[in-house]
Structures are given as structure tokens and as C-alpha cells.
Structure 1
Amino acid sequence: MDANILNSFNEAKKLYEKHGIDVEDALDRLSRIKISLHCWQGDDVRGFMNRGQELSGGIAVTGSYPGRAATPNQLREDIEKAFALIPGRHKVNLHAIYADTDEQVDLDELAPRHFASWVNWAKEKGYGLDFNPTCFSHEKAKDGFTLSHPDSEIRAFWIRHGKASRKIAESFGRELGQPCVTNFWIPDGYKDTPVDRMMPRVRLMESLDDIFSEPISEEYNIDAVESKLFGIGSESYVVGSHEFYMGYALTRGKTVCFDLGHFHPTETIANKLSSWLLFGDQLLLHVSRPVRWDSDHVVTMDDELLEIARELVRGGLLDRTHIGLDFFDGTINHVAAWVIGTRNTLKALLRAMLEPVDRLKEIELEGDFTSRLALVEEFKSYPFGAIWDYYCSMAGTPVREEWLTEVKRYEREVLFTR
């Protein structure tokens, strides 16, 4: 290890230890956190089924940066490169349209065999896998409705797809020895104000009940449901609202997914976490960065990310929270986007772990709000960067911006040659 990195770490460690903070314990906790890397950043949400199908269902990707993955092998190669630049051992989040098969199958016919190459690869590399049914960019979703569609035959198609997705996820969990989180998001809604808000939600409830009717052990598969405030084409009404899924998850024993871009533009997610986990067993976070709407920008070290990390650490909620990324930016290098977003998420969690949480709670109970504010603000400039550099070095990953040099080399030698 570089002597400067080690010296800076030791000096920073002394500062934190003065406040009773165990830096080694924080790094150990951080090393056990698995971030689920979303495969769809690598190819602009195109997938490998129904090639040529236009994106729909409120999904939009801007930019045409060269080098996006066009085959499953290319996508896996790019993910491996990203993980080589990110400390820790993590997971890969797949959408159903990323099946690796030469068979001509539709979404409702997918089976574990169509993802065998992904499982074999993940097993070889030591990655976990998560999963998502793909309820968009399909001819049976072109009018904006899937599981709440008034046509029972179309609903039946999406119900079959949901059931197939859970079986695929179960196989992931069995094969890889860690649970697969299967997240259900649908684009259903109206562009203009509907007359009947109730019946689409009744149909969605019944469809979900049908999908989840077969019990699957959470040792292998964890079901999550994801709400949205509005989307392109569903500006006035979304069937699967936050209130709908909160009620559904609580009454059905399911996990709720909070996506940072799926709420009001000025609404923060951090304040919701303890409220949900007071009643629900687990939580799924889709970490993104909305800019005025659900625009899924690459995650940066902004106030919202830091506040979410603090809430998870201060509330002791990390063990019950699954963290995945969800953004797709086609204007920059696809691999760099993964690296930036994941490293920022981990950095935010480390910063939260390096706060004197127990002391802050004590002085809060004592009513010493002056000391609370002073300490919180002073710790914002404590040298967490020296701890992060040490962690990266110990993990064998690049320190600071050194990773960018490797991405640029990979870009020249691999991405630009595609």
C-alpha cells in the first residue's frame, strides 16, 4: 500500500477514535453491503428480446455515447470492468428482457433456462442476482396498461409473466445461495384525468394476488412492489401509487420499493424509511437522481443521498434494506456511470458510519440541540476521504480518480471498437 494513503488513514483514524468511532468496524460493515448494479445502464434499456422495439411505458434514455453493450457477453464484460473498479462484492440486477437465449419466446414463456448463462457467470464471479419483470416496451403494453388492463386476456399475459419471473428469481436464489429480490413495477396510468380510479386498482390488486398465489421461500426470492407518482403518458393518474403499494405490501407481507425519482420533485425519501420499517419487514431502495422528474440521472454525492445513508445507519436499518441503483444515462461512458454511482453510494454510507451516532442520540435526548447541530456540521468536514482511500486500496481497487484512467483505456480498447 502507498505510504501516503496509510499515513493519512492512520491520522484520520485518530480523529475519529477521539469520538469513540471504530473505523475498522465501519469498514467491516461497509464490506458486507451489497449494491445491486442495474444491467440496463450498460445498453440504454434495450435488452436482448424484441430487438428494435421502441422504448415505451414512460421509459426514455437520452444520448448515444458509443460502446453500449449489444450482446449478453459484452454486457457481462462491461459489468466485470465496473466491479473491478468498485470495492466490495455486489449483485447484478437483471430485467426479464435480458434473457440470453436463441429461442423465440415471449415474456410469459421465460424460464430459468433462458438465464442459465447469467447464473453460471454470477456463480463463477461470486455475484448475486436480482430480477425484474419487464412490463414495458411490448406490444401488450403499448396503450399504457398491463396488470390493470381492462382486457382480461392482456392481464392474463402479464400475470403469466409475473409468475414466470418469480420462478426465475427462485432459481437464482437456489443456485447462488443468496435471495433474489424481484421487483414489480408497471407503467399503468392515464395521461389525463380518469373518471374511474377505483376499478384499475381493483384489477391490479387481483392480478398481483394471482401472481403471488404460489408461496416461494424468502430464502430464495423476496417480492417487492414499486410505486410511482407520475410518468410520461401517466401524468394525471398512476394505478400503482405509493398509497396503493403501501397498503398492498402491508396486507400481503411484501416488500416496498422506494425509488428516489418516484415522488414529488421536492419530496425526500429519507424521512420515509423509518416509518415503513416500523411496520414492514424489509425495504428495497432504488437509488437514482431525479432532476425535476423521474429522469434517472447518475447518482452523485448530493444531500438526498447523504441523508438516506444517515437514516439507514442511525436507525440501524441497513440489515433490512436492499440497495439497488436505477439510472440510465446515454450521454456518458456507460461503465463510468456505474462506477460513479456505486462508489458514491458506498461513500455516502461510509460517511454515515463515521459519525458519532450514539453521542448524537444522547445529546438529542438531553435537549442539547446546540451541540447536536454543531457536531453534525463539524463532521461534514472530517477526513472520511482518507478512510475511503484506504478501503479502496485494501480492496485492490483504484484510489480516487485513478479509476477513470482505466475506464478510458477500456473505452479505447474495447468500447470504441464495437
Structure 2
Amino acid sequence: MPSPNSSSAGNPRSVLDRQTQENATDLPSFYSPRSRPLREDDGIATSLRLDRDELCLSSITPQSISNSALTSTDDVNLPPPPPSLLSPAFTPPVTPGTTTPTLLAEGQPRGVPVDSSIPSGGCGIKRPKLLDTLPEVQCIVRARIPTVSGTEMFLHLYTNNVDNKEHLAIVFGPHIRSKSLDAPRDGETEMDRMVRGAYTGRLYPGRTKSGMVGASSSTAGDPVEEIPAPSGPPLVRIHSECYTGETAWSARCDCGEQLDEAARLMSLPTAVNGGIIIYLRQEGRGIGLGEKLKAYNLQDLGSDTVEANLLLRHPADARSYGLATAMLLDLGQKEIRLLTNNPDKIRAVEGPNREIRVTERVAMVPLSWKGKGGFRSREVEGYLKTKIEKMGHMLDMGGL
């Protein structure tokens, strides 16, 4: 095997790398920046390929991370990353007290059944602080978004009575609709309804009627939208805004990767029950972008993510999920499959009176742990380690 400082010209390995880059990844084009699949001779690639569904952190050792330091023929002269922060004996916990996971259609993520009404229901040991009453929300506009992966989704923009932020619901599937958006409003015309997204079917040049029941003019003659009935609850991701991870390509967290992966799972042809990403504008686990950047500096000084927040006199996690519950109810959802590694989020999303029931928890496993590209860095390893050890996050490695 050539040394990291040797030339890659004419090297069979570089030819294999180019072929692997072109052929091995099956991720859609909206992943940015595009991830690089692991090589055959990377330290952990063999074990990933042999049994990736049972992969756990115990197979990722400092030596294996060091062996996988080479990233491309363009950066062979870069030094290897620091040793892994994860102990060879460290294995992330899995959901306790649950039955055999349900296997859906091919390509769909496996869900572990959960029940927050019983202590052993796999919903965390914390008692999240819940609002006495849910916030009032209203969807004020909806628009169809064709994505670069070839699928379509509907972006819903919500206002509420508890903050001045505009929260979003990214909806996959035509059968999921907003009650507050579809409700008729005094004095509006059919064009008003179509412009704010309260229509059925698709818009097209020259269309004059919204097709909604209760609209101001007759719907006779409008095309009828045939929507397949769902066979179960949709897959739901409650995602908090992360400018650094989603826009600035930060390797301190995996938020951007999680958002992309949630969208990919919900846009699969087998996702017949649709999907919803509730995008909450609560940057930095609720402390805001400015304080989050201060926390990054504290992390560079030696603190982990939890310690940095506490040193800034913030809670370890200042987020609230009452808005997510209210938005899901507005979208007509009473039962959901929740895509999360945080079991405490289950009870928080269900609402003060269990207005919504989470029937299954679906693990969000980092892509690099499954041998499907992704990325590694010293910072993200420390970030994931802290979430598991100090915040109770769980992973079911066979979940995808």
C-alpha cells in the first residue's frame, strides 16, 4: 500500500477511487456537499460491508479511524485526523422495553414500537416540561417545491401566538393537508385561495377555481384529485434550525446530514404514507446563533456541547416542541412515526394531554456508521458522544 505522501498518478487505487465515487453512492443530488463513500481498504470499510446493520461504535477504534484518514487524491498530503474520541468499548444504547421492530416496504426505515404511557415504553426517563395548553398556529401559505432529486414536496409557512418567528412544515405526500390553510376566509376570491396555496390538485396557467369545498364559486368541472389512502402513520422529523450545519457546511454536528436524510427517506417511492419535517426556528438548541458561536469557541477551549451551554448560563437544551405538536395537529396527524435518536423528544412532541401519539421511533444513524458515505471529524465524534452519554440519545443500528 503506498504511503500517504506518494504520488497517485497511475496508481490502481486512484482508478478504483474514481470508479467508486461515480458508481457506489446512491444518494440523491440534494446532498450538499456530496459525501464520499468509504474505500475497500479503509480500516473500517470491511466490517461495515460485512454486517452494517449491526454496526456499533465499539467497532470504531482510534486505530481504525487513523487508517481511514485518506480522503481523496487531492489531499493525500494532509495529516491524518486526531484519534477517535470514542472508546473501543463504548456502545450506544438501544431502546429498552420494546417489542420486535416493524419492517415496512423495502427501502423504508425500520421503526421500534414505543409507548409513552408505560415506564418501559422506550420514551426516555426524563419528564420534559410541557406547556399547559398548545400554541395557536395558522398556516398562511403553501407552495409546491420541485426538488433537485426529482420528487416534490409542499412547503407550509406557519405563524403562531407565542413568538414572532415563521416556522415551517415540509410535507411529502398529497394527502397531508393543513386545516387552517384550507379553511375559507371572509372576502377572499378563488384567485386569493390559489395564491396562498389553498387548492386541490395542481395549478396550471389559466386555472380559475381552487377546487376546495366551501370556496366562493362552483367547483364543477375542475379536475378531481385522486389521492391514495395512507395505510399507516407518516414518518415525521422534528428538526431545529442549524445555520452552521445546514448552510455553512459545519462538521461540528450532523444536522445538515440528518435534514437531507430525512428528506430522502420521505421522498422514496415506497413512502406511501408520506412524511413531514417540522422545521422549527430554534437555532443552537434554542439559545440563538450568536450564543451558539460563543459555545463553539468554548468547545475549542476544551468544553463539550453541554458544558459550553451551561458555562454561558443556558440550559443544555432550551428547545420547546409545543409548536411542533400544534402544527402536526393542524396537518391532521394523530399518530406518527418519529425519526429521532432522542427518546425524551417522544413525550415532548406528544403534547400535554397526548394529543398526538408516537407509535414508533425510527433511528437516525449517521451515514458514515452504515458505510453509506457521510463524513467524519473529531468535532462531530465528540458531539455525538456527548449526546449519547449526557443527553440520553439512543441508536438502533439495524434501523435503516
Q: Do the structures match in fold with TM over 0.5?
A: no
Name whichever structure is richer in helix by fraction. Answer: 1
TM-score (norm 1): 0.25
